Homo-oligomer: A and B are copies of this chain.
Amino acid sequence: MNKLRSPTIIDVAREAGVSKSAVSRALLGQGDVSPETLERVLAAADLLGYVPNAMARGLVSQRTMTLGVVLRDSTTQFYGYLQAAMQRRAAKFGYEVVSVTGVDDLTVEDAQKALRSLIALRVDGLIVSSAQLPGEDLVRYAQRVPIVVAGRAEYAEGIVSVHCDEEDGGGQIAEHVVKLGHRNVAVLLMSSDESPNGYTRGQAMIRTLEASGVTVHVMELDAYRAPVGLAVMKTLADPAITALMCPSDITMVNVLEELRVQGIPIPGRLSVTGYDAFGTLAAPFFGFTSFRLPVEEIGTTAIDRVIELIEAGVTSEKRTAIPGVLVPGRTAAPPRR
């Protein structure tokens, strides 16, 4: 555990018998160096286990080739998938991705702190995926560093966003329920504070159902993980209701547990739908009727946008809504006559 001093460019230069300028050029592969110098530098660097100090490098070059990502909560699978997709895409362009995540849920304060530490690291670009951060906080920094919001639509001045087309998604899954023949449907609606996405998709469901002449029973919900007992009770109390639409797969699992405990047959007595359809809950075994969020494309596109911003200063699109895909399953079926 004796802390060895990390070798610097000076050490490499001494070992190779050249100047540190030569080492820098050789390692960067830019500027001219003789083949012989190149070889000696490479050998010396390897021998010493030299890893260039990114701070010193970034300080002078004013570029870090690093993208910062603020994640709302890494325990939610969406963020894990997003992170992976971003990393994969960024690597293609030679950028590194470093991320800071919240725990349980990122408070506004946490998110601001995370944002600041990423800015302190002077990342070349920032991707924010946290519903909580107010747009104004972003605007303030967006003049200095390119910022892209991933996972929700952002309307603040000068902020680019990439998100799922919730209008389309909520509409598609509601249409699926309509086509199955349901005429009385309960919808669990998220509060818009807690989840703008959940709210938007819920409203889209409601609109689509109503447009088809379906009677809609709206039940409000505070959070994806909020208790659903009451909503389930109210749904079952009305024998006319034959389907229950949830704002997420997590919520759906909670609903299904309530129904299981009460011995309610699914989809016999009640059809149930979710939303998300990726990760472990998307396994065929569960057979959840859901709607797949295009998490991969959201990540990829967010990276593309931020790199456009970094390298060209402008972006091709200010807001990009990416469509997902309906996932029919075994939890929703035509209503029993």
Q: Using CB atoms and an 8 Å cutoff, list the residues of chain A in contact with chain B.
A: 1-6, 49, 51-59, 64, 73-77, 79-81, 83-85, 87-88, 96-104, 116-117, 119-122, 140-146, 158, 249-250, 253-254, 256-257, 260, 279-281, 283-286, 309, 313-314
Contacts and interface: CB of A to CB of B under 8 A. Distances in A.
B2 A143 contact: yes
A64 to B, nearest CB: 8
Given A53-B120, A55-B58, 18 more contacts: A1-B142, A1-B314, A3-B143, A5-B144, A6-B144, A51-B119, A51-B120, A54-B55, A54-B122, A56-B59, A74-B79, A74-B80, A74-B81, A77-B279, A98-B99, A253-B286, A257-B284, A279-B280
Given A1-B313, A79-B80, A280-B250, A120 B257 contact: no
A41 B74 CA distance: 36
A121 B122 CA distance: 12
A121 B3 contact: no
Given A55-B58, A100-B96, A143-B2, A257 B280 contact: no
A290 B304 CA distance: 41
Nearest to A285: B257
Contact of A97 (B81, B100, B279): B100
Nearest to A118: B98
Contacts of A256: 285
B253 A280 contact: yes
A100 B98 contact: yes
A59 B55 contact: yes
A253 B253 CA distance: 15
30 contacts: A1-B313, A2-B143, A3-B145, A4-B143, A6-B119, A49-B141, A51-B116, A51-B119, A52-B120, A54-B120, A55-B58, A55-B64, A57-B120, A74-B81, A74-B87, A77-B77, A80-B80, A83-B101, A84-B102, A84-B104, A87-B101, A87-B102, A97-B100, A99-B101, A121-B121, A253-B283, A253-B286, A254-B283, A257-B283, A280-B280
A141 B314 CA distance: 40
Given A54-B117, A283-B253, A87 B103 contact: yes
Contacts of A280: 77, 249-250, 253, 279-281
A158 B2 CA distance: 10
A310 to B, nearest CB: 9
Contacts of A286: 253
A69 B75 CA distance: 16
Contacts of A122: 6, 53-55
A86 B249 CA distance: 27
A119 B53 CA distance: 8
A88 B103 contact: yes
Nearest to A119: B51
A285 B101 contact: no
